[in-house]
Amino acid sequence: MHEIHVGTDLREKNRLIAEENRDLIRKNGVVSLNIMSAPGAGKTSLLVNTIPHLRDRYSIGVIEGDLQTSRDAERIAELGIAVYQIQTGGVCHLDASMVHSALHRLDLDIIDLLFIENVGNLVCPAEFDLGEDARVMLLSITEGDDKPKKYPLMFRESRLLVLNKVDLLQYVDFDIDKAKGEALDINPDIEILELSCKTGEGIDGWISWIEKFYGKCRNG
């Protein structure tokens, strides 16, 4: 009984702070994407590949969430992009208060597009609203085509599913149609893109998706 109350309180507290984040993000004209996946699906690789395509037209900021180390933030900082690292010290997801602190340390005035790389985990991050405009999840084809039904929450909560590492399709038994079908069973509105951070295949579609979403957010 006690545990249920604690969980409910935590969730309610998170919801309230997420609303504050949403206000702060909107007020500053920022469009934000929360990038989620299991560890190693390619979140940082995607950001490193995405930023050069957008940086001429958008001012970009990144919040990096990790259990330990600043390695991913260093990869982003090498591109000369404003990046704030959150080390959760073992917590398996970002929550709204962590992001709140990060938002106050970034120059939101000048940022157009904010990417939040969540902690690598296919379950917990989906439970925490950060106040972002949209959730994007990656599933790499090395993780198996059975994951949507096994981990439905993240698929349900995401606006876009990026199937990454399609360059490895010839080496792995991954049925793309099955994975897409299961994802759509769980979330009929989810959009799906296929992509390879290694070869660059599909990056154009992802860049167009971001541009379209950005336009939608900024123009209402």
Ligand X SMILES: Nc1nc2c(ncn2[C@@H]2O[C@H](COP(=O)(O)OP(=O)(O)O)[C@@H](O)[C@H]2O)c(=O)[nH]1
Between 160 and 186, CB nearer to Mg ion: 160
Identify what 32 binds: Mg ion, ligand X, none; CB under 5 to 8 Å per kind: none
Residue 34 in the binding site for ligand X (CB under 6 A): no
Residues 105-134 that bind ligand X (CB under 6 A): 120
Residue 72 in the binding site for Mg ion (CB under 5 A): yes
Between 44 and 50, CB nearer to Mg ion: 44
**Torsion angles phi and psi, residue 121, rounded to 5:** -175, 135
Residues contacting 83, CB < 8 A, separation 6+: 61, 62, 63, 64, 73, 76, 77
What dihedral do alpha carbons 89, 157, 77, 107 form, nearest 10°? -100
Residue 197 in the binding site for ligand X (CB under 6 A): yes
Residues contacting 80, CB < 8 A, separation 6+: none
Between 57 and 171, CB nearer to ligand X: 171
Between 17 and 206, CB nearer to ligand X: 206
Of 189, 176, 65, residue with least CA distance to 124: 65
Find the residue with minimal CB distance to Mg ion: 44
Name the site residues for ligand X (rule: CB under 6 A): 37, 39-45, 120, 164-165, 167-168, 196-198
